[in-house]
A and B are shown apart, each in its own frame.
Chain A
């Protein structure tokens, strides 16, 4: 049923339809509305789930880890400092091969304290063994939760999925969203069937010591499973479109890239603004396009190579930084072409929107303009040089 919903409400509605038996979370802006709604559903008897109040995100993550280990579909959501506070448990959940869906309402990381959107929080945990899927709009954010549970609980996977949605822009924005019926969701997402679980009648230990004779293989297994998820994700999204009628590739999405001479690559909600600018410039006869990366982990390097190998000039727009090196998305896009037969003549990297600085149509046009000049490496867009004159000597 179509409804005019806040992004957080849409996610809460979808999570309710996924019937998690356990929810645990700690409030943090801009994620709070999601779990407030879910707590209300539980209190109103609209969702048969145990909602565990905790004193921190570290505990919230630990509670859902225990829930999945006991064989129960679980859910949590967080943001920024909260996600980093979950950090060691985030690694544990993946290492113990426990399927879970977590919503990351993407927000800048302190210090200085900033509650607004960029993607530094989830990017900082990119090496944790979680799949990371980035949503462009509220409908996709909601749908990625359904898709996420299916992928995560697939018996060949058993890895957690982080659905990343830009804080405020998507969590507090309001759009028309199609919320499916319970029967449709049940058809797409059957109940969780654990491959292993904690059971007093059949006791097992999970996540215990793996000395140098064993640890390496646990990492190799996750890496190989991540690679195989590149095949699984499009299969699941194809099945999703059969049931719900909405088409996602799940890995990347090309927009007007055929015959394009300049293409911007980005992740998340900014892809919508980029598409608008592409339309505007195309109307003026400019050969421009865009590429959205939905799946940052696993990173679809082969798909990206195919999509961009004949594009002369490519700009990568990052909403996070790897301080002291290349921007996180840019470095992986560039690596996709190293040693290959074909490649863009130029790949420029731009950083924008940190700490919630608006990325406007003019910001995107500036990137297209700079893309026509020499190569840029991690160039900051919309920088205010007047703020860089403080002196504390």
Chain B
């Protein structure tokens, strides 16, 4: 008899860790963004993407609301908002 043992590649995507987010979530204002990509690089979940300036966004299914993106943004173009406020 076997229990849960082996996981195929990529299956961690099935685990929607954004459900862990409790207090706040980032809001991408998309006004003063210069496309430096620092938010995408620092995101521990790797769930921020964007092709050009003022087009960066994150996938709330995985975002845990750590706030690193808002902290590192040189233009303060990402702000943390109350979770219940939604977006």
Name A residues whose Cβ lies closer than 8 Å to a Cβ of B.
96-97, 158, 196, 203-206, 208, 210, 214, 217-222, 224-225, 228
Give bound CA distance, A219 to B3, whole Å. 8
Q: In the complex, are the beta carbons of B4 and A217 less than 8 A apart? A: yes
Distance in Å: Cβ of B5 to nearest Cβ of chain A? 6
Say yes or no for B13: interface residue by CB 8 A criterion: no
Q: In the complex, are the beta carbons of B9 and A214 less than 8 A apart? A: no
Q: Interface majority SS on B: helix, strand, loop or mixed?
A: loop
* B4 nearest CB neighbor, chain A only: A214
Size class of the contact patch on chain B? 10 to 19
Give bound CA distance, A134 to B8, whole Å. 38
Name B residues whose Cβ lies closer than 8 Å to a Cβ of A.
1-9, 11
Q: In the complex, are the beta carbons of B2 and A208 less than 8 A apart? A: no
CB within 8 A of A196: which of B1, B3, B5, B9? B5
Give bound CA distance, A82 to B69, whole Å. 47
Q: In the complex, are the beta carbons of B4 and A203 less than 8 A apart? A: no
Distance in Å: Cβ of A365 to nearest Cβ of chain B? 46
Q: In the complex, are the beta carbons of B3 and A208 less than 8 A apart? A: no
Give bound CA distance, A221 to B6, whole Å. 14
* A158 nearest CB neighbor, chain B only: B2
Distance in Å: Cβ of B80 to nearest Cβ of chain A? 28
Q: In the complex, are the beta carbons of A203 and B6 less than 8 A apart? A: no
Give bound CA distance, A228 to B1, whole Å. 9
New contact pairs (18) apart from A205-B9, A218-B5, CB-CB < 8 Å: A97-B2, A158-B2, A196-B5, A203-B9, A204-B6, A204-B7, A204-B8, A205-B11, A208-B7, A214-B3, A214-B4, A217-B3, A217-B4, A218-B4, A219-B3, A221-B2, A221-B3, A225-B1
Distance in Å: Cβ of B84 to nearest Cβ of chain A? 26
* A210 nearest CB neighbor, chain B only: B4
